[in-house]
Structure formats: C-alpha cells, structure tokens
Structure 1
Amino acid sequence: MPTRILPAVGDADAVRSITTLLSQLPDAEPVAPVVDSTQLVDTLARLAAESVDDLPEVVVVHERIGPVPALELIREVALRFPAVGVILVTSDPGPGLFQAAMDYGARGLVALPLSYEELASRVQAVAQWSVGVRRHLGSGGDVFTGVGGTVVTVGGAKGGVGATLTAVQLALAAQASGRSTVLVDMDLQAGDIASYLDVQFRRSVADLAAINDISPRVLADAVFRHDTGLALLLAPGEGERGEEVTDRAARQIVSALRSRYEVVVIDCGAQLGGAGAAAVEMADAALLVTTPDVVAVRGAKRAVRMWDRLQIRKAEETTVVVNRHTRGTEIQPALIQKITGTPVAGTTVPANFKELQGAVDAGRVHELDAKSTVKQALWALAGELRLVKAPEADHRKGGGRFRGDRGSVSFRRRKDGGG
C-alpha cells in the first residue's frame, strides 16, 4: 500500500526540492503540497470528515511554514488528527529543537539540506507508526474522526461561585439537544460532579493519565454513562491521584475526547493546576464564573491577569459568567466587564438558591424543574455558547450564529481558518 505524504511548505524553492525527493521514495504517493498552516489544517479536516482512512499517513512540515509557527502547527495537527504522523524539516536539527518538536507532537525530524537516505528512513518509520495507530484506533469499534468537537472550560473566580453547577447544566443542555456530550471533572482534588449527579464510579480521569495512545475502547472504559445519556469522566476519588494528571496527560485526554464527542464541557474548579491550564489553553471557549460581590470579582480579575501573564489565555478570549445576579446589586455586569477586561456573557444567572437546594442536597441537579429560573438561565447560556443543536428552521432563517457572530461570548478559533 503506498504511503500518502502531504508536504506543508511555504517557500517555493523548498517545495520543489522536497516534492522531488518525496516522489523518488519507494511506495510513496506525494499529495499536492499546501502552502500555509491554514490550508494544511483545512485540508486535513476535509479529509477526516470523510474517513480517517482518507488522511495521509505522513505530513512533512517545513520550518518556515506560516502564518502559524511550525511547532504550534505540529501541536495542532497532533491534537486534532492523532492518526497522522508529522515530520519537521529544519536547518537546526540540534537536541534542543528535537526535544521541543517531540514535545509538540512530531514523530520525526529531518535536517536541511535534505538527504534522500535520511528522508526515506524517517518517512518509512513514521508511516509504519501511523498505520499502527489507525489499526489501534479502529479496534474498539468507534474510530476517532479527528475533526474535533467544541471544548468549553468552566472555572470559578473563587470557590463556591457555582462553576460546577454551571458546567453540569451546560452539558445537560447540550446532550438534551441531541449533541453527543461528555462532562469532565478536572477539579482533580475537590471535584463534586459525582455528588451533584448521584454517581458512584471507580474509574476516573486519573486512569487515563499514563496512557499514551487513548483508544476508543480505553476511553469507553473510563467514561460513565449517566441516565440522562450524558457521558461523565470523573475526578479521582482519592484527591492525591490528581497529581498523576499532568499538563501533557490533560492535552492527550482532551484531544481524545474532542475526537469522540461533539461537545466537551470541562469543570476546572477554582484552583487552576497544570492540567486545568492545559484544558483552558486548548478550549474553544473558556468561562470564568463569578458572583457580583467584591471578593469574587477581584478573584476573577486575578485569574484573568494570571492566565494572560502565563500565556494560557488572553483576557479578550475569556468570558465571565455572572451568577446569582440581581437587579439591585451594586456590582452589575458592565462594571464586572470593566474591572476584569473580559467579555461578559449576555446571559446572567439569577440568585435563587431555594430552587436548587433540594436537588443539590439529593444529588439530583439533573432533575431540576424546567420552570426553574436558574436552569432556564443556564440552558439559555448554552444556547448563547451554541452548544445546543439549533432547530433546522433557525438555519433556514439564518438564525444560527455558531459559525460567525457569537454575541458577547468569546470563542477562540482553532488555527484552521451556573447557580
């Protein structure tokens, strides 16, 4: 079977030299080269939408590809298309860059000027790896498409502001609308999703931490299927096991989930560790829940500034959700937006804990009455985030804004373009 190789090279001279050598490799089937990062990801997404088998086994990325830097592009491809092996072509084949390329997800590195023997050896090894991964992914019945679902993280400005309830209700709304949805508890030491939904399950996110290639079967074993149809990936029952979930493990887990589900909602809690930071960085939308009081709003401001300093998330790419809102409070959403420097969701969640107390105490928040103003607000927020499947009539009338105008909610485009 020929090896399909897709070159991603922006320089015209480099295109000619790379494609000439690739065409000389035994059993090689070079694909028409792409000239920039956007075209590469668009091409892979189009092929993956048909079948994972339509994807090339090998992608060769030149160091001068743009506009996205080569390493960032490699990470994007590795996360979204785990069955594709990436080779970096570079003039700096030193150990520092080699290690960085491996950390970002490359399967090999070839030095410039190109050598036929070195290129042939790398392509053959990476192609064999890709074929093995595809066979592995297909063994569980379901096959990751690599197209990628929508990932939303929910964090709290401080403890007790309602982040977990927000995450739970967003996920329930998405699932109820017909989207395959998984709810992940990434509050690794103090996660409460199991208590909110009256679930006892021995598997957790920590069980996936040491697995390099997360197959559909392995993922299915770690996920609990709730009565509502919602898939749950819970925090470990022993808080100390949370340390097993490193930032690298979190990236692999989120990538696997994104490839399997249309919507991935992640509760990151109020204390953001390495795993939560990786999830926030990868997310299409990052929500930060606050209540309209001085302590919580200051906490939200600190979190936003820290995320920005650590280059986890820019302020303009973070959306603050105001919980327990009343018209009479002195701190209104417009002031919170000014203080935090972030967009604020257009949907606010009213202060009405009496509606919630019975369901929360019983661990049955999924049974909140449809007339609950808190539930109505959170499900409206899911609509604002475009997590719910819009009726066909809305599309005919041009009502669906998911791909364009997102109102006040800040979605970060991937590089291819509560109570």
Structure 2
Amino acid sequence: MPMAPTRPPSAPPSARILLAAENAIESAGLRAMLEEGTGWQVAEVWDSQHLLQELLAQRPDALVLDERLPDASGTALVQRLRENPDYATLPIVLLLPVGSGTRHRLAALRAGASDCLTRPFDPLELRLRVRVLLARQVPEAERVAHPKGTVVAVFSPRGGVGKTTLAINLALALAQTGAQVALVDMDLARGEVAVALRLPTAQTLADLEEKELADPTPASLQKASCLYKAGLVAFPARGSPQEAEEKTRRIASAALLALQGLYAYVVVDAPSDLGEGTLELLDAADQIVVPLAPDLASIHSTARVLEIFRSLGYEKPVHLVCNRVGAAKELTRAQVEEGLGGREVLEVPHEPEAPRALTLHRPLLEERPESPAARAIQRLAQRIQEAERLSRRAPEEAEQVGLPPTPLAEAEEEAPRPRRVPLRALLPLAALVALVAALVPLVLVLRGPGQGASVQVGDAAPAFTLPLVGGGEFALEEKAGQVRVLTFWHTRDTLCRHQAVILAWGHKTYGPRGVAVLGIDPRDDEDRVRALLEGEDRPPGLEGPFPVALDPRGEVTARYGVQKFPTTFLVDGQGKVVARYEGVMTQRQFIEELERLGIAP
C-alpha cells in the first residue's frame, strides 16, 4: 500500500537545550550557534557537578556535551547518564576535539551518545543534528499520525561489487510491490545512480538552501528529485568530491528524516567508506544491505565491517548479498558463508546480459525481469519487507515468527543453519588461506596489489625505492628526517584526480619547507601519468606537476596494505606513520596534520 505523503514532525520550536562546555568562552560561542534562528532555550554549565544538578532541575529536551569538561570526559559522563533510567532516551550530542577519528566516535556511540560532531564543525550542522534528535522524540500519538518509512542503506567497504546496481534494482523491486520508494544517491563523490539511469543533476539534495535543509518540506525535496517511474522517485547526485566532503552529513541528518515521512521505503546508495557521513547514514538506517564478491579480499573486508557494526551495537537486520561475476575460481556460497562465521548470504547469480542492461541505462529488473539474478533481488526485497513487518510486531510475536536475517547482536546465539558445510568440504578454502599467508609474491601476481597486511598509524613505514615519472628514483629511507606524504592513487578514478589537485598544491606549498610529497601509481604507465599532470587531461585546479613514482608490479602498494584509492600515509621524520586517510585527504586535513608536526603553510 503506497504511503500517503505527509509532513514529518519538526523539532519543537521552544525546546530546552542543556549545554555543557569546557569553559565560558567556548560555551558562549556554542550557545550562539544553537540559538540562531531556532527559538530554543539554552542553559549553560561548565563542569560535571553542575551538569548533573541542572539535569534534575531543568529536565531538558536534549543535551549538548563537550568531551573535554574540566573535571570529566564527556564519553564517561554519557555512559554514567545512560545507566540512569531517567536519561536512557535523552538525546545527547557529544562534541569531540579536533583530530578525533573513527575510534573516538565508536567509543562515544558505544557509551550511549545519540550523535557526535568532531571539531571544527559548521554551526548549521550542529543545529541540524540537534533538530533531528528532537524530532525523533515526538509523542507516540504523533508518531502514529506520521508513519515512518523504512531506510535501507546499501553499503560496501569495497568497490567493484555492484553496490549501485544492487541499490537501483532493489529500489525497483520494492516499487514493483506497490510501495512508494525513494532511491537516494548519497555517494555524492561519484554520482553513479545518475549515470546508470541517465538522470539529470541540475538540482540535487546538495543544492538545497540552508533554510530548506534545516527543515525540509515535500516541496523543497521535490526540486531535487526525478520521477523514474510510477512508485519510484530518484534523488541523484552529480558526482563531486567537494560536495561529498561538505554535504553528506548534513543531508544524512535532515533529508533522510523528511523522506521517511514521505515514502514507505528509502533506499540509499551509501559511500564506500566509514567516514563520519557514512556512519551517520548507517546509524539512521533501519536495515543494511552489504554486497560482496566471492573472493577472500571481499570476505575479509566484509567481516571487518560486521565487527564494526557489532561494536556500534547495531541490532538492525543486515542482509549479506554475494554478487556473482562468473569467474572460474570464485569461492562457493558455502565457503563464503563459512568465511563470514556462518552468516547466511543471499546469492545473486551471474547474469551475462548485465553489461547490455548497463549500456541501455536500464535496470536488470526491467531488461531481464525473469532472469535468476532479477529473481534473487526480488527475494531480497521480500526479506526486507518481512523484516520491516516483523519490527512492527510485538516482541512475543517476533519470537514466534523468527524471520531472517538475525540481528548482529544475536548472531552468536542463533541455531546452526541447515546449509552449514562439513569441515572436509572447506579444506580447499583452508588451503587457499594458507597459500595466501605463505606465498605473498604469488598472491601479488594472482590477486593484484593491495591485499597485504595494512600499515596503520604508529607502524614504521616500510622502506621502498621506486622509479619517478620523468627520471630518477624516490627512496623513502633517503628522506629520513623529513616529513613525507605518500598517496597511493591512479589517473582513472574521480576521487584520485581530485586528490592529485591537492597533492600538487601540497608539493608547491610545503615542498620549500622540506616536506616530501609523493604520489604512488600502481596502475598506469608514464605516458598516462604525464597526460594527466601536463597534458589536456589535467583536472581543473591542478597547479602543476608533483613527484609521482610508478609501482608497476604493485609490490609497494601491497606492502602498505592499500585496498582503496586514494589512500594517504603521513610519515614523520623518524619514519613512523602518524596519519592514514582512506579516500580524499582534503586540503584542510593536509594543513591540520602538518601543523601537528610543527609545519605551517
């Protein structure tokens, strides 16, 4: 049954906000941010003792809490508050210090924070996040009057597994059941939904004005949408790394909440990273679909993602989908499931006509609706609907039905599945794993670069010597005493081309200060690199060439454990890795990291 378009509930205009900041100066700035254009009543405290007193006296609608109070850490206070039933559902936004990474965010969320923001942040984003949390605290009667749609995030930590194709076809499969469905491309850096369906991108969610984004309406959202067919509305992205950096978290905070009030299902094509914006999307999702390939690298990265989901306390359904590509040496479904600890995997068979459907800009469910692959995606849609119906039932009914998939928090207690594979059937997989561990050079040849042990912050940077484009060599050990910025990239990827612009700027700005900036390309030859740096293929904004080393056999790329491009390592003068970025390292991050090492621009 299509959901009637209704306006989602807004945050109360006279909400009471308790602000706990590090000192009076910080508090004054934060209070001004919160009060601007909201009508909220903001009370201030500057230590944990007064915080606890004001919570009892004020009974606020939300708490904005600084991680660095003079007498306590914000994360510890959140955990303490959550142990009190009176504050179990109080919306708490934790403000993390500059330089906080995913580890800090995970710790805060595990402690019970409703949301986190890392300094520096946009004042609008702070207001948006508080507004979203307040809107979710509406009375039961109002929640019944405004039914909430189901957000399904399609996420994979690896490219090349059919994430966007699966998201498009899943949205179409749900629409074919009669539901009103929104397909939202939140992979703003790539914008592949628009490319796949040949959609216009003159107006997107990223173009909404500040007031529209702060309080989205059906009219404002309609400007950013395209009606693909009856029952399916697409919200495309144009493919801009700059928009991805600036807008992902804002849209995740506000637009998704609004879309839930307008559509029965909101299918989100999520970015392939675990940055702040993506975690925001996954937090907001009711169900998550994780596509993977039938190979060891994909199984490994998927297992890591499932572990992160557990650490976040996700109890939402997670559907694992194995996309077949028809290769001769693919792992079997049984081997994939065993590699994922016995988790059930839905298999999408290889479809030879899939490339033709892509060429015609038609989803597989339209081009080949009777194919085994299309039927598998329709089964996935049925599972999502079953899980959604189950979530709306009383707990005792849910126990009787027992529909898959099992939430992650309960996965270990699940009864063995009937398809569990005998140990002897897994001996080929065990042998393959042993081969990978013992014969690294052979693995590099068979599987390509990027599958070695990953170099992390605090590790010593592995030494290497590589030939430079234009002549000469770059030897890492010869740069001892210098700060080195090493970026693994190639010329054929949109994000890598954007990173090249930042590397050229970094080389020009910091090279005279003794910083060695190096791009390491494992995929291209010298002519192709020169074409990008010096020829007609130059990306806009590139200020000139920068040093690029070629890694034709991928050995250095594998030694650093790079699986995603671009990936950047910051190495200090002692040869220790002090920062690692997967995805684009922005100009701002470039400056901040070098300032921590005492180097000003």
Relative to the length of structure 1, the TM-score reads 0.60
Give 1:284 shift: 0.8
Give 1:227 shift: 3.1
Give 1:334 shift: 4.6
Give 1:283 shift: 0.8
Closer, same or farther: CA 114–276 of 1 in aligned 2, 3 Å: closer
Closer, same or farther: CA 367–246 of 1 in aligned 2, 3 Å: closer
2:418 is aligned with 1:406:
no
Structure 2 CA distance for aligned equivalents of residues 114 and 174 of structure 1: 48
Question: Match of 2:432?
Answer: none
Question: Match of 1:219?
Answer: 221
> Where do 1:235-384 residues align within 5 Å?
235-309=237-311, 311=312, 313=314, 317-324=317-324, 331-341=331-341, 343-345=343-345, 347-352=346-351, 354-365=352-363, 367-384=366-383
Structure 1 CA distance for aligned equivalents of residues 223 and 231 of structure 2: 16
Give 1:149 shift: 0.3
2:157 is aligned with 1:160:
no
Closer, same or farther: CA 152–403 of 1 in aligned 2, 3 Å: farther
Structure 1 CA distance for aligned equivalents of residues 219 and 408 of structure 2: 31
Give 1:186 shift: 1.0
Structure 2 CA distance for aligned equivalents of residues 166 and 326 of structure 1: 17
Question: Match of 2:563?
Answer: none
Letter in 2 for 1:369: R
Closer, same or farther: CA 369–401 of 1 in aligned 2, 3 Å: farther
Question: Match of 1:192?
Answer: 192
Contact 1:278 1:312 in 2 (8 A): no
Can you list the C-alpha shifts for 1:138-158, whole angstroms capped at 9, x where unaligned? xxxxxx964210010001241
Can you list the C-alpha shifts for 1:286-326, whole angstroms capped at 9, x where unaligned? 111101111211221233334445x3847x85332111188
Structure 2 CA distance for aligned equivalents of residues 312 and 246 of structure 1: 23
Q: Which shifted more, 188-197 or 241-250? A: 241-250
Give the paired residue count: 302
Closer, same or farther: CA 279–88 of 1 in aligned 2, 3 Å: same
Structure 2 CA distance for aligned equivalents of residues 411 and 209 of structure 1: 38
Can you list the C-alpha shifts for 1:324-354, whole angstroms capped at 9, x where unaligned? 1889966344543443458434x311122x1
Question: Match of 2:438?
Answer: none
Give 1:401 shift: 8.3
Closer, same or farther: CA 108–115 of 1 in aligned 2, 3 Å: closer
Structure 1 CA distance for aligned equivalents of residues 317 and 302 of structure 2: 14
Structure 1 CA distance for aligned equivalents of residues 11 and 400 of structure 2: 27
Closer, same or farther: CA 148–297 of 1 in aligned 2, 3 Å: same
Give 1:192 shift: 0.9
Give 1:213 shift: 0.8
Contact 1:187 1:268 in 2 (8 A): yes
SS of the residue 1:201 aligns to: coil
Structure 1 CA distance for aligned equivalents of residues 290 and 218 of structure 2: 31
Contact 1:319 1:409 in 2 (8 A): no
Give 1:225 shift: 1.0
How many percent of aligned residue pairs carry the same amino acid? 24
Question: Match of 1:71?
Answer: none
Closer, same or farther: CA 160–52 of 1 in aligned 2, 3 Å: closer
Question: Match of 2:561?
Answer: none
Contact 1:186 1:266 in 2 (8 A): yes
Structure 1 CA distance for aligned equivalents of residues 230 and 177 of structure 2: 12
Give 1:226 shift: 1.1
Bigger radius of gyration: 2
Structure 2 CA distance for aligned equivalents of residues 243 and 300 of structure 1: 24
Contact 1:168 1:183 in 2 (8 A): yes
Letter in 2 for 1:204: T
Contact 2:185 2:269 in 1 (8 A): yes
Give 1:269 shift: 3.7
Aligned equivalent of 2:10, options 82, 102, 109: 82
> Where do 1:43-62 residues align within 5 Å?
none
Structure 2 CA distance for aligned equivalents of residues 403 and 261 of structure 1: 29
Can you list the C-alpha shifts for 1:56-77, whole angstroms capped at 9, x where unaligned? xxxxxxxxxxxxxxxxxxxxxx
Contact 2:197 2:361 in 1 (8 A): yes
Give 1:258 shift: 0.8
Letter in 2 for 1:233: F
Structure 2 CA distance for aligned equivalents of residues 146 and 194 of structure 1: 30
Contact 1:226 1:232 in 2 (8 A): yes
Letter in 2 for 1:407: P
Contact 2:226 2:233 in 1 (8 A): yes
Contact 2:226 2:235 in 1 (8 A): yes
Question: Match of 2:103?
Answer: none
Contact 1:186 1:267 in 2 (8 A): yes
Q: Which shifted more, 298-307 or 178-187? A: 298-307
Structure 1 CA distance for aligned equivalents of residues 302 and 250 of structure 2: 26
Give 1:275 shift: 2.2
Relative to the length of structure 2, the TM-score reads 0.43
SS of the residue 2:348 aligns to: coil
Question: Match of 1:385?
Answer: 384
SS of the residue 1:184 aligns to: strand
Structure 2 CA distance for aligned equivalents of residues 403 and 204 of structure 1: 44
Closer, same or farther: CA 94–237 of 1 in aligned 2, 3 Å: closer
Structure 2 CA distance for aligned equivalents of residues 227 and 213 of structure 1: 27
Structure 2 CA distance for aligned equivalents of residues 402 and 172 of structure 1: 30
Structure 1 CA distance for aligned equivalents of residues 400 and 4 of structure 2: 21
Q: Which has the higher contact order (CA 8 A, sep 6+)?
A: 1
Letter in 2 for 1:355: E
SS of the residue 1:348 aligns to: strand
Structure 2 regions of 5+ residues with no counterpart? 44-53, 62-130, 136-143, 390-396, 410-601
Give 1:257 shift: 0.9
Contact 1:337 1:344 in 2 (8 A): yes
Structure 2 CA distance for aligned equivalents of residues 260 and 344 of structure 1: 32
